[in-house]
Amino acid sequence: MNKLSSISTSNAPEALGAYSQAIKANGFIFASGQLGLDPKTGDFISDSAGGQAEQALTNLSAVLKAANSSMDNVVKVSIFLVNINDFAAVNEVYSKFFKAPFPARACVEVSALPKNAKVEIELIATN
């Protein structure tokens, strides 16, 4: 039987809607998209896509830690950018959080993100 458990930490921003920060299922952790928000204030840590990406990845790292995992166990990342021209800046920050073998990844441009964010990042990791 598939047992689901919700993951939550105060070291990442609270969910902005009816969803969990992450769900653990069958040895995998499915982390919801994170914005570049400061978990204490709820404000963006930066106006730049790179700065927002760094905070989003820091938030995701905190969620994984709460699930007894880490960025070393990430298998898939999805990045959503409001402006694809921010790809290089986000990729530079991204490379600081992961090492080989790098996770599989998708990066797409979207028309808008919650709270007018410039970037949102979600991921899947193993436990």
Q: Which residues are marked as active site? A: 107
Write the secondary structure of 14-46 as one string of H (helix), E (strand) and C (coil). Answer: CCCCCCCCEEEECCEEEEEEECCECCCCCCECC
Q: Which residues contact 116 (CB under 8 A, 6 or more apart)?
A: none
